[in-house]
Amino acid sequence: MIYFDYAATSLKRKEIIEEILAKFEDFDANADSTHGLGRKAKKSLEEARRKIASSIKADPRRVIFTSGASESNNTVINAYRGSNIISTNIEHDSILNNLEGEKVTYLKADKHGLVSLDDLKSKLKDDTKLVIVMFVNNELSTIEPVREIGEYLKDKPVHFHVDAVQAYGHLDIDVDEIFCDSLSLSGHKVGGINGFGILYLREDIEPFIKGGEQEKHRRAGTSFVMGAYSMAEAFEKTLTEREKIRDLKKYFLAELDKVKINYEINGSLDNSSDHIVNVYFKDFKSDFLLTYLDMHGICASAGSACRAGALEPSRVLTNIYDEERALHSLRFSFGYKNEKADIDYLMKVLKELNK
């Protein structure tokens, strides 16, 4: 199988799993136990925390381990329920579905998939308590103006939350440069084990999961030491792969022109991350294309994996363009295992559609 769905989840890095198995005692026990094995696990956990914090230029004491970005996003929203909130109409489902029934004003993305600081300024009210904007859109790869928004909000009594899942490993992230009050990440997007992520919090808020005293009373539950280790190690590997991913996207776009298929790029190419391309195929519906590609051993997607299975039109594309365009679009996302030969094969398969 050829895999172009890294934005949904990265293929796992087997070398990290092998490292975990080779020193299994470092992860085996409960990190809050006081015996020798517990202390080993705690050491591994805290070393991973330092590495992950360093990857976003954060104080390790402000990094909370969670089950992933969905939990992290829920934690922030839960702390501000009942308040006036501003978000965008192209957020991840863990944001949009969670805001239903709340007092929300939505910033509308333009045809390039970008929201506007001026739009935010016009909609910010004295009683606005929370603003949520993703760093890189998970379907279009557009880079949102989070730095400008953070700069504008930094001296206002508003909590600014950034979902940085798709930016992680692909763009430099500095929590102080974007002036965010909180930020969410998932380890599996860079090749770590599923079910682990972080919530950066500049100042503590009400815990979402309550129980034990883990994470300094900020998130209960037995620590997932292997998940923490895998995320920390995977991030370091992504830094060596950026140029390769950038070249793959350029190659994909150049080769797509040669196929002579009727297409347009959704979103902005000039202001986007290097690992995602969203393509509107005017003459073919996405459900047909997904099946056709899958029959030829190629994995892609028609939108967020969180809406997969139902084959519903992408909410992001529907909000920016219309449902018809959404029903004719596919997302291709690249990762560390992809090579130019994979793209050559994809283009060969697409050429068959013209016969």
How many other CB atoms sit within 10 Å of the CB of residue 352?
Answer: 10
**In the structure encoding, which two tokens stand for residue 247, read together?**
């070249």
How many other CB atoms sit within 10 Å of the CB of residue 143?
Answer: 22
CA-CA distance, 54 to 231, in Å (whole number)? 12
CA-CA distance, 38 to 59, in Å (whole number)? 24
Q: State whether residue 43 is helix, strand or coil.
A: helix
96, 314 contact by CB (below 8 A):
no
Residue 159 pairs in a beta bridge with 130
Q: What is the bridge-based pairing of β-strands 263-265 and 276-281? A: antiparallel
DSSP conformation class of 343: H
CA-CA distance, 193 to 351, in Å (whole number)? 36
CA-CA distance, 192 to 13, in Å (whole number)? 7
How many other CB atoms sit within 10 Å of the CB of residue 160?
Answer: 23
CA-CA distance, 25 to 347, in Å (whole number)? 47
Is residue 88 left, alpha or beta, with left meaning phi > 0 and alpha meaning psi from -120 to 50? Answer: beta
Q: Which residues are catalytic?
A: 306
**In the structure encoding, which two tokens stand for residue 121, read together?**
């300024």
339 Cβ neighbours under 8 A, 6+ residues apart: none
CA-CA distance, 140 to 203, in Å (whole number)? 31
**In the structure encoding, which two tokens stand for residue 133, read together?**
């904007």
Q: State whether residue 225 is helix, strand or coil.
A: helix
CA-CA distance, 165 to 133, in Å (whole number)? 12
